[in-house]
């Protein structure tokens, strides 16, 4: 993940196309990229009953715009989970597949998504140990966590929540309250 985030850009944005050497971006401030991403994903994740959640998250992001300004800008995978990692057995090289949610923006967002979707979800035993290992590995590759990582986690927690609604006993998607903390 740290090696991916070493690919730096001048401006954040949504990836429209291009090649590995020359991406075509729709450049916008990072908070705008996040809000646009939420709008696009609302139709696939939430039914009409839960439209207030994405709207409230967008409002919170805009209210805390200063925390999302002047962030490092890197290539982000957008969906960094185990299913999207291919490990080469001979040298343990990791490759990523499924780039549909990729963006150019704050590497803290990608890193937190790994924590939220791979470490904070049951049935993980000792998530604190795994979190420490993930962060130590990132620091080992990048020399440090992304600037401002800890202070942006609360905002990225609510954005990440929108991408992983819980299922109710009936099998329907049912969000829980991301504002409980």
**From CA 80, how far away is CA 63, in angstroms rounded?**
27
- Other CB atoms within a 10 A radius of the CB of residue 87 amount to 10
What phi and psi values does residue 76 have, to the nearest 5 degrees?
-115, 140
Q: Is the pLDDT of residue 171 over 90?
A: no
Tell whether the model's pLDDT for residue 44 goes beyond 80.
no
Decide if 178 is inside a domain.
no
**Residue 67: per-residue pLDDT:** 96
Beta-strand relationship, 166-167 and 173-174: antiparallel
SS (H, E, C) 38-104: HHHHHHHHCCHHHCHHHHHHHHHHHHCHHHHCCCCCEEECCCCCHHHEEECCCCCCEEECCCCCCEE
Model pTM?
A: 0.84
Question: Which of 151, 141, 147, 153 is closest to 6 using CA atoms?
Answer: 141
Give yes or no for a contact between 175 and 159, defined as CB atoms under 8 angstroms apart. no
Does the residue 128 lie in any domain? yes
Range of the domain at 146: 2-173
| The pLDDT value given to residue 46 | 66
List, for residues 87-114, the tens digit of each pLDDT value: 888 887 888 899 988 999 999 999 999 9
Q: Do the beta carbons of residue 61 and residue 35 sit within 8 Å?
A: yes
d(CA 87, CA 32): 34
Per-residue confidence (pLDDT) for residue 15, from 0 to 100: 94
Task: Tell me how many helices (H) and strands (E) the chain has.
Answer: 6, 8
Q: Is residue 179 in a domain?
A: no
* Structural domain includes residue 103: yes
Q: Is the pLDDT of residue 176 over 60?
A: no
- Within-domain flag for 181: no
We report the CATH number of the domain holding residue 70 as: 3.90.1200.10
**Domain count of the fold of the chain:** 1
The pLDDT value given to residue 21: 84
In a domain, 106, yes or no: yes
The residue ranking higher by pLDDT, 62 or 168, is 62
């Amino acid at each position: 993940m740290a090696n991916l985030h070493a690919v730096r850009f001048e401006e954040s944005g949504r990836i429209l196309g291009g090649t590995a050497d020359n991406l075509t971006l729709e450049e916008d401030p990072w908070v705008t990229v996040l809000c646009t991403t939420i709008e696009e994903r609302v139709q696939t994740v939430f039914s009409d009953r839960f439209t207030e959640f994405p709207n409230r998250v967008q409002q919170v992001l805009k209210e805390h715009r200063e925390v999302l300004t002047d962030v490092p800008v890197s290539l982000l995978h957008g969906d960094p989970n185990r299913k999207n990692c291919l490990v080469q057995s001979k040298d343990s090289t990791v490759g990523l597949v499924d780039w549909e949610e990729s963006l150019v923006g704050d590497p803290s967002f990608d890193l937190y998504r790994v924590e939220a979707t791979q470490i904070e979800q049951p049935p993980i035993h000792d998530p604190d140990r795994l979190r420490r290992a993930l962060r130590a590995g990132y620091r080992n590759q990048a020399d440090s966590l992304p600037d401002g990582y800890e202070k942006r986690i609360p905002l990225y927690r609510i954005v990440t929540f929108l991408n992983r609604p819980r299922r109710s006993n009936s099998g329907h998607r049912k969000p829980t309250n991301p504002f409980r903390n």
